[in-house]
Amino acid sequence: TALHSGDITIGAKGYLTLNPLKYTHALLSIVLPVLFVIMGGIGLPGGAVFIERGRIRGRGRLSLISAAGPLTNALFAVVCTAPFWLHALDGVPMVFRFALAFLALLQVTAALLNLLPVPGLDGYGVLEPWLPYRVKRQVEAFPMFGLLIVFALLWIPSLNIAFFGLIHDILRGLGVDSAYSDCGYWLYRFWNGTPEVCTVSP
């Protein structure tokens, strides 16, 4: 999206390759993923891609570039849930159903988190081109901490329950029983033990 909108430098930076080293960010690519693996898995925004916004033609294109990440997560969520709402899982092992449901949960979580209008997340990036210059200057120092603030807020039980309640409502709307995504979650956190209802035969 950025390339077609005018930022021709992303090719030279290696963002159009499949080399993960080109996207590595100490906080987003290493520290937070390790932390959330230990916590049990939370959908994270994608790799760090630095766009030269001065090269982009028009505010609408800037908003579209920021929206591309969450929209991709939403698309993958639809792909992951398609076998459920198409009733195409007859004969498919339960462990695969659990894994697919949990993967869908991660995609929906990443899409919703990244759409929040918080500096450092794509939701703010969608709005930023339309904000007054004074407002943008005031929040320049916050992008580094925006994601951390969001996850700190998710530690508040009432907010956590409300957020993941919304996630499960969306998954149910896409045909995924919350029991499947819950079992996928517990199988993912195998080191904590798996509830008997989620135990699958080898």
For residues 27 and 161, give the distance between their C-alpha atoms in angstroms, rounded to a whole number: 26
Tokens, residue 136: 């943008």
* Closest among 33, 107, 120, 22 to 70, alpha carbons compared: 107
* Closest among 16, 188, 187 to 197, alpha carbons compared: 187
Average pLDDT of the chain is: 79
Percent of the chain with pLDDT over 90: 34
pLDDT value of position 96 = 94
pLDDT value of position 57 = 72
Q: How far apart are the first and last CA of the chain?
A: 44
Tokens, residue 64: 């579209």
Tokens, residue 102: 């949990």
pLDDT value of position 180 = 94
Whether 44 and 154 have beta carbons less than 8 Å apart is answered as no
Q: What is the pLDDT of residues 106-120, one digit of tens each?
A: 899 989 988 999 888
> Which residues are within 8 A (CB) of 130 and not within 5 positions of it... i.e. 6 or more apart?
59, 63
Q: What is the pLDDT of residues 6-63, one digit of tens each?
A: 444 555 555 555 555 555 556 665 666 666 656 655 666 555 556 666 667 778 888 8
* Backbone region of residue 19 per phi and psi (left: phi > 0; alpha: psi in -120 to 50; beta: other values): beta
Rg (CA), the chain: 19
